[in-house]
């Protein structure tokens, strides 16, 4: 095969035994790779109702067909898939860097990890040699420290490592998996699944050649995309980066502030992308094969956190800044570094800290409950203390590390309402009360509250629709975006490069053809996008989720935006949500309960999964 | 003998290099029609997120790699300064690799003989320089590097004296 390595590796952590199987070519074309292939493999290798921390819950690591080539941004991504300990639904997270390209050169499209090692181990993949090595000396280390230690141990500084930190070891439900120190497979708590298997890290070295099926045409396409990468489509990411959103969202009053108590932050100027770039950004670096470069490396030049260095993006800046009412960039940067140090999803960690602050201000958690922390909104010290406690699972941090939904349930006394999540996953930096296309996208997202499954906020933020209106037609808009986003994460290319695919699916189909040599039309690709979203839905149905879970955070539906301005009073009513969901399900060919209809599964070639929807076709 | 103004090599500006490895990909593609950093004659080093730099052959005066070779497999072109490897003589012992202060001569993973940058002599120009999106790579001589350093030092001095006024 071209593009694909053609091999899937199975590792049994109980016994240390491994075996390989051939990649099913039908799956390759149908599910592409990345999250698509990963989710299908997870489904095939798991039983309904499996506990996320059970050894029987497979952790799948999957690459796309483009990985390892020099196509801009496409060479470098990898996806983790498993049942999420946060949402108890399908969990997946994508990261970029160089890890994915290295794994492709080692000769694998996917790795399926099952079982649980008796002792802490790390997986060392050296082309066809697979070993589980002792990791007892790595326990407690941060992902970055682990990476350095493994490179030292194995004596090769070009080995690529993806590792968990203390949070993953301690089964924190917001634990992530970090490669190359700053790149995280962040969302849905998959670092804890890795921790539950006693697997500290995956180290890989690959020495094989990667060759596209149609080399000359492929290189012409690379050349053209190099030019596009330097153009307007990526300008935002190359200049201010995603933190540009701070002032954009704030002006539109769609930046959730102080745990959704406001939609506008008075201190936004102090934490803007402009301020970050002026005072803190030291260098913008790139992933393997990328011709754009977006990774804003920041360094704190002075003050108590002097020398702190990390990567910074909008979502994490928002979560630890405006969402906690904090207007100090040095604190936010320190907070981000702590999240990376312990290996926590920095979005979730910030949202949970803000939740704790809200509980404190409402008297639900006292200073005593919080181990002495005066957790008012805007208290920088409190944020950092809460993050430390979450990372170590000390005191109140032990509860908070359970994720905002479970923490809300455990704390009780109305804390559940202050827990802003969908399907258990913490919200991100878009105020859904005044972005109603985004609200639908978030509600139906198979991994819970997240902007990265659809990007539907773009219609609202760019003024392409009336963002305060819930109306028919939004369903199809969300659905089309979901299909494209699923393909992006399955190829795997970088979402920041999406604007360079001028002809969208036609460009992507061409890329697929040139790399793999497999015929692919834009129409077939569209169907693959639909199939990937459908397989995720089928998994969630198998795991007991349904329409009731396609909902919105409590405050989005019950607390109108209080701020004077363009969207005062906005919220999403149950009627509006119902209308949006009906419209979306209809556009997908699903029942009103959100179950894919049998004829839809037949139409997109998924009859092998009909058993999941059997008996659920009424309504 | 090649003159000082003619001994050209590829140099990376660490302020501009972002560690993206495009030079590695295009080098291995140009030389071997495969994407494989191990077959690239230029390698990227990322010491940390802020310190990135691509490294390749500097075409030294009295190159230690040539001196180290026990089999006389390496010679330096008098015309261009390029290190030339006699594939028949090289047995991959690695003494040249050890001798090179820059790690710029490397063992090919399959042929097991060493390879080193030849400025893409068959292509007319080094492809890494042509493809680098950051324009971080350039073909220079030691003299040009010294000139650049002098110019920026003097510019800085005048800038500072201007600011003081």
Q: Higher pLDDT residue, B144 or A554?
A: A554
Inform me whether the pLDDT recorded for A74 exceeds 90. Answer: no
Confirm whether B111 is domain-assigned. Answer: yes
Q: What share of chain A is helix, strand, coil (3-state, %, to 5)?
A: 45, 15, 40
Q: Higher pLDDT residue, A166 or B6?
A: A166
Confidence of residue B160 (pLDDT cuts 50, 70, 90): confident
ipTM attached to this prediction: 0.94
Confidence of residue B122 (pLDDT cuts 50, 70, 90): very high
Same domain, A144 and A187: yes
What percentage of chain A has pLDDT greater than the value 90?
Answer: 96
Same domain, A177 and A250: no
Confirm whether A217 is domain-assigned. Answer: no
CB contact under 8 A, A219 and B32: no
Same domain, A312 and A257: yes
pLDDT digits (tens, 9 = 90+) for A258-307: 999 999 999 999 999 999 999 999 999 999 999 888 999 999 999 999 99
Same domain, A411 and A452: no
Confirm whether B81 is domain-assigned. Answer: yes
Lookup result for tokens 């153009």? A231
User: What is the C-alpha separation between B50 and B42, in angstroms, rounded?
Assistant: 19
Phi and psi of A549, rounded to 5°? -90, -10
Number of domains into which chain A is organized: 3
User: What is the C-alpha separation between A96 and A259, in angstroms, rounded?
Assistant: 29
Average pLDDT of every residue of chain A: 97
Structural domain for B40, as ranges: 9-164
Q: What is the mean pLDDT of residues B8-22?
A: 95
| Cα B136 to the center of its chain, rounded Å | 13
Of B19, B35, B52, the CB nearest to A70: B35
pLDDT digits (tens, 9 = 90+) for A237-261: 989 999 999 999 999 999 999 999 9
Residue of B nearest to A299 (CA): B50
Confirm whether B1 is domain-assigned. Answer: no
pLDDT digits (tens, 9 = 90+) for A506-520: 999 999 999 999 999
Contacts of A142 (CB under 8 A, 6+ apart): A165, A166, A340, A341, A342, A343
DSSP letter for each residue of A267-326 = TGGGGSHHHHHHHTEEEEE--TT-SS--EEEEE--SSTTTT-EEE--HHHHHHHTGGGT-
Helix (H/G/I), strand (E/B), else coil: A131: strand
Number of domains into which chain B is organized: 1
Residue of B nearest to A294 (CA): B18
Chain B residues whose CB is inside 8 A of the A235 CB are: none
Of the three residues A376, A402, A426, the one that is the final residue of a domain is A426
Of the three residues A398, A426, A454, the one that is the final residue of a domain is A426
Confirm whether B4 is domain-assigned. Answer: no
- With an 8 Å Cβ cutoff, is B31 touching chain A? no
Q: Does the N-terminal peptide bond of residue A492 adopt cis geometry, omega within 30 degrees of 0?
A: yes
For residue A546, the domain's CATH number is 1.10.599.10
Same domain, A28 and A169: yes
Of the three residues A406, A426, A446, the one that is the final residue of a domain is A426
Confirm whether A163 is domain-assigned. Answer: yes
pLDDT digits (tens, 9 = 90+) for A133-183: 999 999 999 999 999 999 999 999 999 999 999 999 999 999 999 999 999
Torsion-angle region of residue A57: left (phi > 0), alpha (psi -120 to 50) or beta? beta
For residue A270, the domain's CATH number is 1.10.569.10
Same domain, A415 and A447: no
User: What is the C-alpha separation between B151 and B158, in angstroms, rounded?
Assistant: 11
For residue B106, the domain's CATH number is 3.30.70.20
CB contact under 8 A, A209 and B36: yes
Confidence of residue B4 (pLDDT cuts 50, 70, 90): low
Residue of B nearest to A205 (CA): B38
pLDDT digits (tens, 9 = 90+) for A416-448: 999 999 999 999 999 999 999 999 999 999 999
Confirm whether A586 is domain-assigned. Answer: yes
Q: What share of chain B is helix, strand, coil (3-state, %, to 5)?
A: 30, 20, 50
Same domain, A415 and A450: no
Same domain, A273 and A390: yes
Residue pair A536/A400 in contact (Cβ under 8 Å)? The answer is no
CA atoms in the 13 A half-sphere facing the CB of A569: 2
Same domain, A380 and A278: yes
Residue of A nearest to B108 (CA): A207
Confirm whether B62 is domain-assigned. Answer: yes
Inform me whether the pLDDT recorded for A357 exceeds 80. Answer: yes
CB contact under 8 A, A283 and B134: no
User: What is the C-alpha separation between A390 and A371, in angstroms, rounded?
Assistant: 12
The sign of the dihedral angle between the CA atoms of A487, B49, A210, A5 is negative
Inform me whether the pLDDT recorded for A619 exceeds 60. Answer: no
Structural domain for A563, as ranges: 436-613
Confirm whether A212 is domain-assigned. Answer: no
Of B20, B32, B131, the CB nearest to A290: B20
CA atoms in the 13 A half-sphere facing the CB of A260: 29
Same domain, A317 and A448: no
């Amino acid at each position: 095969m071209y593009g694909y390595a053609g091999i899937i590796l199975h590792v049994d952590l109980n016994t240390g035994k491994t075996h390989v199987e051939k990649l099913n070519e039908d799956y390759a074309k149908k599910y592409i790779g990345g999250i698509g292939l990963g989710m299908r493999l997870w489904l095939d290798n798991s039983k309904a109702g499996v506990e996320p921390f059970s050894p029987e819950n497979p952790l799948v690591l999957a690459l796309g067909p483009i990985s390892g080539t020099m196509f801009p941004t496409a060479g470098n991504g990898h996806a983790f898939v498993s049942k999420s300990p946060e949402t108890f639904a399908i969990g997946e997270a994508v990261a970029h860097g160089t890890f994915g390209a290295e794994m492709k050169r080692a000769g694998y499209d996917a790795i399926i990890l099952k079982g649980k090692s008796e002792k802490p181990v790390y997986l060392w993949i050296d082309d066809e040699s697979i070993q589980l090595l002792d990791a007892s000396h790595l326990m407690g280390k941060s992902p970055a420290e682990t990476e350095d230690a493994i490179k030292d141990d194995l004596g090769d500084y070009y080995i690529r490592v993806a590792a968990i930190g203390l949070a993953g070891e301690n089964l924190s439900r917001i634990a992530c998996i970090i490669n190359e120190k700053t790149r995280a497979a962040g969302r849905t708590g998959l670092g804890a699944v890795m921790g539950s298997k006693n697997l500290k890290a995956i180290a890989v070295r690959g020495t094989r050649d990667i060759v596209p099926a149609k080399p000359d045409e492929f290189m012409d396409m690379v050349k053209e995309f190099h030019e596009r990468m330097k153009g307007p489509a990526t300008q935002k990411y190359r200049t201010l980066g995603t933190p540009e959103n701070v002032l954009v969202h704030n002006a539109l009053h769609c930046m959730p502030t102080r745990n959704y108590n406001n939609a506008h932050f008075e201190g936004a100027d102090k934490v803007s992308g402009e301020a970050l770039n002026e005072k803190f950004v030291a260098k913008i670096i790139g992933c393997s094969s990328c011709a754009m470069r977006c990774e804003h490396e920041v360094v704190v030049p002075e003050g108590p956190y002097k020398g702190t260095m990390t990567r910074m993006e909008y979502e994490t800046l928002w979560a630890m800044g405006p969402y906690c009412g904090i207007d100090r960039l040095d604190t936010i940067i320190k907070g981000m570094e702590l999240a990376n140090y312990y290996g926590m999803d920095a979005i979730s960690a910030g949202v949970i800290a803000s939740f704790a602050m809200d509980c404190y201000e409402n008297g639900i958690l006292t200073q005593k409950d919080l181990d002495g922390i005066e957790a008012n909104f805007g208290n920088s010290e409190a944020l950092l203390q809460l993050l430390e406690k979450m990372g170590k699972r000390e005191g109140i941090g032990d509860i908070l590390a359970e994720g905002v939904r479970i923490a809300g349930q455990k704390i009780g006394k109305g804390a559940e309402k202050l827990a802003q999540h969908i399907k258990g996953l913490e919200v991100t930096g878009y105020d859904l009360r005044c972005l109603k296309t985004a609200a639908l996208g978030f509600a139906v997202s198979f991994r819970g509250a997240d902007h990265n499954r659809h990007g539907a906020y773009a219609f609202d933020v760019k003024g392409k629709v009336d963002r305060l209106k819930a109306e028919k037609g939004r369903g199809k808009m969300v659905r089309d975006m979901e299909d494209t986003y699923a393909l992006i994460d399955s190829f795997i290319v970088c979402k920041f490069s999406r604007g360079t695919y001028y002809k969208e699916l036609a460009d992507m189909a061409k890329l697929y053809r040139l790399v793999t040599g497999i015929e692919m039309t834009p129409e077939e690709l569209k169907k693959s996008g639909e199939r990937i979203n459908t397989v995720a839905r089928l998994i969630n149905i198998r795991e007991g989720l349904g329409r009731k879970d396609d909902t919105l955070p409590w405050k989005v539906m019950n607390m109108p935006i209080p701020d004077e301005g363009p969207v005062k009073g906005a919220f999403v009513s149950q009627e509006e949500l119902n209308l949006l969901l009906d419209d979306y399900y209809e556009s997908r060919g699903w029942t009103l309960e959100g179950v894919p209809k049998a004829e839809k599964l037949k139409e997109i070639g998924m009859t092998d999964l009909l058993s999941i929807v059997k008996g659920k076709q009424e309504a | 003998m090649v003159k000082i103004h003619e001994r050209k090599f590829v140099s990376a500006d660490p302020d501009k290099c972002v560690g993206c490895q495009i030079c590695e990909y295009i080098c291995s593609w140009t030389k071997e029609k495969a994407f494989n950093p191990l077959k690239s004659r230029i390698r990227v080093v990322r010491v940390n997120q802020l310190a990135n730099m691509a490294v390749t052959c500097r075409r030294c005066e009295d190159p230690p790699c040539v001196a180290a070779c026990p089999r006389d497999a390496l010679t330096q072109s008098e015309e261009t300064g390029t290190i030339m490897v006699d594939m028949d003589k090289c047995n991959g012992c690695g003494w040249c690799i050890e001798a090179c202060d820059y790690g710029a001569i490397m063992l090919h993973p399959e042929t097991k003989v060493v390879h080193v940058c030849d400025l893409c002599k068959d292509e007319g120009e080094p492809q890494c320089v042509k493809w680098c999106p950051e324009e971080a790579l350039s073909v220079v001589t030691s003299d040009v590097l010294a000139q650049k350093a002098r110019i920026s030092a003097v510019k800085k001095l005048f800038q500072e004296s201007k600011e003081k006024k």
